[in-house]
Structure 1
Amino acid sequence: MNPYNTPTTPPPSRSWWKTTPALLGFLGLVALLSAVSLGLGFLVMIAAMVAVWVLPAWRWYAKLGATFGAFFLMLISAGMSGQLDDSEPDKPVASARDTDDKNTEAAPSSTPAKAPALADYTGKALDEAEKGARSAGFTSGRRDASQEDRAIVVRSTWTVCFQEVDTTAKSVAFAAVKDDEPCPSKDGGPLPWPTMPDVVGDTYNTAVKALNQAGIDLGSITLDDVYLDVDAPTAEEAAEEGDEWRVCFQRPDEDDEVTSTTTVHLDLGQWTDADLVQKCPSKKDTTYKIPANDPNHHDGSSSSSDSTTGGGVSTGGDSSSSDDGGSDVGTVHPGSFCSPPGATGVTKAGTPMVCGPGSDGRDRWHS
């Protein structure tokens, strides 16, 4: 017999449960049983997965796909049949819950929920108030507390006057004014600016007390003198001799409104019991406290070489009259205007003074 003509033996036939159709039907059984019972479907799915990996001669990726397919078939079937929907509680539990809800509705709560509280920010800076409100979980709004309805731009320069809190909506509305303004008596009302008192004729100390009691900022006061030969004092100098300085003129006038932009002017005159002149002039900067300091004081005076005119001005002797106009005028005030150049005098303390150009170019008394 020719060995090349020997017929080959046919391969043995595969069992039917190992065939692909049988395994696919097994997977379909998983979906069917899962729709009936999730527990039974789960057991069949496990069996199907084992069969897929053991029985057929599939490649690994086909077996992996069949495994995931069996799992998803189980979930889909169980979901479609409603077995995965457990949102509804059991009837006994639901009944008990309904009973509790009815009891809760029937019996009002003895301890109502406490409304959220917000700190009082009245008198605080607006930006600080809004920051605190946000930290407490409130939304905030702002507006001008006065009747002027101004826009608020720089919140740090405004002060809270009123606040309205809505605890239900957790919101708060702040009404504020500028830092240098007084709060109105009610929200949206006029600003209660102080009015100027009448301090004319008062000493400086008395005037300052009256202005302070009226609510006027003492930092807004400007001082000036009323005589041409007296320098304006500083606030410190006027305070040291507050009973010697008198208010001759004032601005604003009595009962005028003094706002944050108003400058209070006090024109002062100084005298003591020893001064010959102890009254204010009719107008500011029109007269000299010491008449001898008036450049026109010598007009019409006597030319006698041995006579002495009023005010202590001597026109006689070698030192009293000269070609350069020098003369002895008696008591003078340092720094005051003087005439003529070269004239001499003394202060109250006895310090010799001479009339000559000052730092401003005008003739003044200096030592």
Structure 2
Amino acid sequence: MNPYNITPPPSRPWWRTTPALLGLLALVALLSALSLGLGFLVMVAAMVAVWVLPAWRWYARLGATVGAFFLMLISAGMSGQLDETGADKPEAQHANGADAEQSPSPAAAKAPEIADYTGMPLDKAEKEARSAGLTPGRHDAAEEDRTIIMRSGWTVCFQKADTAAKTVDLAAVKTGEPCPEKDGGPLPWPVMPDLVGDTYNTAVEELDQAGIGLDRVTLDDVYLDTDTPTAEEAAEEGDEWRVCFQTPDEDTKVTSSATVRLDLGQWTDADLVQKCPPAKGTTYRIPANDPAHDDSADNGTTGVGGSADDNSSSSDGSTGGSDAGVVHPGSYCSPPGATGVTKKGTPMVCGPGSDGRDRWHS
């Protein structure tokens, strides 16, 4: 016997090799996307092949079995195969169809009326379409042609029905996005107008004309001694508040994720400072509130709009006597104990606020 004449073991057939079985598992995913029933049959065949053909360890066979099952579910779900296609159909549909075959009538030959699904969440529109005996399709209504995965987060913009084939194609955009003018067109996002220098009232009108709702707008102040107004407060004194800075800039598209902010400054004819600061949060609306303010620079005045003789102060209560006239609640004031009234006539007094500084309060 020749020890060097060793016959190699017979090779394993290709259909019992690992690559062949992996290809069979991939076939499960492909066919499940086309037909759930066909994908299920191939999955059963793949499971039998995994446990019978290859010389794999038991845990490898178990992992391949579980993987084949989940491949079938994922592929069928992404393609819409798991939708409740049968549960939403009326039970009487089959019976009505049988009666129509036996006794045709003009009413039975009439094409079914397709409901209007525009404006509805995509998942709800598809469910109602199936209940009406239609097979729904879906696609992105925007020019990006995005893949629709979470249908509950999309809204129907357009629909195209085929009554003969009993199908309806639904074109949708993500919820919160505006519908394009036509299917497959660009999203018509509103464009930010130029609001810098406008009063708050004027800015609100321009935002409304641009299609930007006030519920998307946040407000902020620009001076160190001015509190941020609420939308109600800014609207009440809309001609006194001015837009000093804005976000985003002019001619910028305001998408659903964009932040819209107006930085406001406030002044009247009685204020010394009647313009926006060069940068936000760098100056005081009332110069006397600046710790570094030099009273002698006022040329004998004791406050904004007041003189040394009348011992009074202006709208927001700077240094001076006990009667400051019309003041704004929460603004800085001096000296302690000074009095004033709001525009509505509410008596105010100058005293320590929550931050330790003197402010107007009732």
Aligned to 1:24: none
CA contact (8 A) 2:140 2:171 kept: yes
Give the direction of change, closer, same or farther, for the CA distance of 1:246–1:365 in structure 2 (3 Å limit).
same
Give the direction of change, closer, same or farther, for the CA distance of 1:254–1:343 in structure 2 (3 Å limit).
same
CA displacement 1:86-116 (0-9 Å, x = unmatched): xxxxxxxxxxxxxxxxxxxxxxxx9995433
Among 146, 157, 160, which residue is 1:161 paired with?
157
CA contact (8 A) 2:350 2:358 kept: no
Q: Classify the secondary structure of the residue corresponding to 2:155.
A: strand
CA displacement 1:188-210 (0-9 Å, x = unmatched): 22211000011112211111111
Give the direction of change, closer, same or farther, for the CA distance of 1:309–1:275 in structure 2 (3 Å limit).
closer
Give the direction of change, closer, same or farther, for the CA distance of 1:181–1:211 in structure 2 (3 Å limit).
same
Distance 2:150 2:212 in 1: 25
Aligned to 1:311: 303
Aligned to 2:122: 126
The CA RMSD over aligned residues, in Å, is 3.4
Query: What TM-score do the two structures reach when normalised by structure 1?
Result: 0.56
CA displacement 1:157-179 (0-9 Å, x = unmatched): 32111112222321111111122
Give the direction of change, closer, same or farther, for the CA distance of 1:312–1:239 in structure 2 (3 Å limit).
closer
Match status 1:239 vs 2:235: yes
Match status 1:365 vs 2:362: no
Among 343, 347, 352, which residue is 2:349 paired with?
352
Q: For residue 240 of structure 1, what is the amino acid of its counterpart?
A: E
Among 320, 335, 344, which residue is 2:330 paired with?
335
Distance 2:134 2:305 in 1: 81
Distance 2:145 2:341 in 1: 59
Aligned to 2:112: 116
Match status 1:223 vs 2:237: no
CA contact (8 A) 2:219 2:231 kept: yes
Match status 1:170 vs 2:166: yes
Task: Count residues with an aligned counterpart.
Answer: 238
Q: Classify the secondary structure of the residue corresponding to 1:351.
A: strand
CA contact (8 A) 1:272 1:278 kept: yes
Q: Classify the secondary structure of the residue corresponding to 1:208.
A: helix
C-alpha deviation, 1:136, in angstroms: 1.9
| Residue correspondence of structure 1 range 177-196 to structure 2 within 5 A | 177-196=173-192
Distance 2:304 2:171 in 1: 67
CA displacement 1:243-264 (0-9 Å, x = unmatched): 2211111111110010112221
| Residue correspondence of structure 1 range 50-89 to structure 2 within 5 A | none
C-alpha deviation, 1:353, in angstroms: 1.0
C-alpha deviation, 1:310, in angstroms: 5.5
Ranges in structure 1 where 5+ consecutive residues have no aligned partner: 1-109, 317-326
Query: What TM-score do the two structures reach when normalised by structure 2?
Result: 0.57
| Residue correspondence of structure 1 range 235-274 to structure 2 within 5 A | 235-274=231-270
CA contact (8 A) 2:333 2:359 kept: yes
Q: Classify the secondary structure of the residue corresponding to 1:146.
A: coil
Give the direction of change, closer, same or farther, for the CA distance of 1:215–1:244 in structure 2 (3 Å limit).
same
Match status 1:282 vs 2:278: yes
Q: Classify the secondary structure of the residue corresponding to 2:235.
A: helix
Q: Classify the secondary structure of the residue corresponding to 1:239.
A: helix
CA displacement 1:14-59 (0-9 Å, x = unmatched): xxxxxxxxxxxxxxxxxxxxxxxxxxxxxxxxxxxxxxxxxxxxxx
CA contact (8 A) 1:228 1:336 kept: no
Match status 1:292 vs 2:288: yes
Q: For residue 296 of structure 1, what is the amino acid of its counterpart?
A: A
Distance 2:240 2:305 in 1: 26
Distance 2:122 2:165 in 1: 21
Distance 1:344 1:328 in 2: 11
C-alpha deviation, 1:281, in angstroms: 1.9
Among 201, 204, 219, which residue is 2:200 paired with?
204
Larger radius of gyration: 1
Q: For residue 363 of structure 1, what is the amino acid of its counterpart?
A: R
Distance 2:328 2:267 in 1: 12
Q: Classify the secondary structure of the residue corresponding to 1:335.
A: coil
CA contact (8 A) 1:334 1:347 kept: no
C-alpha deviation, 1:231, in angstroms: 0.7
Give the direction of change, closer, same or farther, for the CA distance of 1:166–1:328 in structure 2 (3 Å limit).
closer
Distance 1:194 1:126 in 2: 24
Ranges in structure 2 where 5+ consecutive residues have no aligned partner: 1-105, 309-317
